[in-house]
Amino acid sequence: MVPHTRFTNMPFPINRPRRLRKNENIRRLVRETRLSIDDFIYPLFVKFGKGVKEEIPSMPGNYRYSVDMVVDEVKEARSLGIPAIILFGIPEKKDEVGSEAYNPKGVVQEAVRAIKKDVPDILVITDVCIDEYTSHGHCGLVKGNEIVNDATLHILSKMALTHVKAGADMVAPSDMMDGRVRVIREILDKNGYTDIPIMSYAAKYASAFYGPFRDAADSTPKFGDRKSYQMDPSNSDEAIREIELDIEEGADIIMVKPALPYLDIIYRVKQEFDVPIAAYNVSGEFSMIKAASEKGWIDGEKGMIEALISIKRAGADMILTYFAIEVARFLKHGL
């Protein structure tokens, strides 16, 4: 790549940068970063029942859907051109080992079947983590007060396999257990699913911005916190090590989560790795903009667009966002 030439010999008044900001048509011509509907993955929460559409109080405009209702929402997403969704399950019962996570007739597995039957041309991604399914709310099995790593891997691999057998197009492990990408890749390959990609939550930070999601999925830990497996927000080099390991284990796409407080991580990862990069515009980021908009403190639509552009500008190739429907309507219809 040829480095940019700096205009060191063209001072004011010869060089006037405002010439290229004079009106919207000029600004459009020189715009460096553009949002596209192709950029978005829409997260959805699914539960058992029929005709269920429960609004999530801390996430305005987002809902917990029964399987039949989530299909309708996916149809709406597809009609707007959104290429992909990611599913999170809310089971009817929980236990210490999250057994509903790998039940072939579990809620996510049933939702995948229904969606692929009625909306076959949308990409269905499934979150692979047991926190929503365990009675203790942690992403790994618990022994005493310790989150155990290696015993959890078997559960995660079984969960991923049931998702793919149900028809999932991609799996996305979000647990942050060491080695989970490798065991998932191995079990998928062993069962003939060599063409199923893995999107790894490779740099997932222990963040305060997950609160509304935990409300939506009823997945708040019943004791302690997740700092022994999610990353320290102070660390950048560690993210590079985590991502390198996941790529070596077979990850096809890597993710940084959250997005907005970690734009520097997204940028650094983009510079250091030649793989597709996802960024998760998480629930707390979404809800802050919505809350400020409802208070009249900011223009919510402009805030939404500015936040998403910043994630794309930092280097994300795709963005998981609860704004997906809203921003798709904006981009498609100007609504």
Q: Which CATH number characterizes residue 182's domain?
A: 3.20.20.70
Of 257, 290, 302, 312, which residue is the catalytic one? Answer: 257
Averages of pLDDT over runs of 10 residues in the chain (335 residues) are 58 88 94 96 96 94 95 97 97 91 96 98 96 89 91 96 98 95 98 98 95 80 82 96 97 97 98 97 96 97 97 98 96 73
pLDDT at residue 6, rounded to an integer: 59
Question: Is 317 inside a domain boundary?
Answer: no
Domain count, the chain: 1
How many beta carbons lie within 10 A of that of residue 53, not counting itself? 14
Q: Is 43 among the domain residues? A: yes
Active-site residue (options: 47, 158, 204, 312) = 204
Instruction: Judge whether 204 counts as a catalytic residue.
Output: yes
In 3D, which of 211, 210, 207, 248 has the Cα closest to residue 229? 207
Judge whether 290 lies within some domain: no
Long-range pairs of 32-36 with CB within 8 A, sequence gap ≥ 24: 32/313, 33/309, 33/312, 33/313, 34/312, 35/305, 35/308, 35/309, 35/312, 35/327, 35/331, 36/331
pLDDT of 2 reads 52
Residues 6+ apart with CB under 8 A from 4: none
Residue 125 lies inside a defined structural domain of this protein: yes
pLDDT of residue 1: 47
Contacts 24+ apart (CB under 8 A), 217-220: 217/45, 217/88, 217/90, 217/131, 217/132, 218/90, 218/132, 219/131, 219/132, 219/137, 220/137
Any domain includes 300: no
Q: Which residue has the tokens 């970690």?
A: 262
190 noted as active-site residue: no
> What is the reported pLDDT for 29?
95
The pLDDT, as a whole number, for residue 4 is 59
Q: What is the pLDDT of residue 28?
A: 92
- 255, 279 Cβ separation under 8 angstroms: yes
Assess if residue 7 is contained within a domain: no
Q: Whole-structure pTM over 0.95, yes or no?
A: no
Tokens of residue 22, six digits: 């004079």
Within 10 A of 50 (CB to CB), how many other CB atoms are there? 8
- Per the structure, the complete domain to which residue 91 belongs is given by 35-256
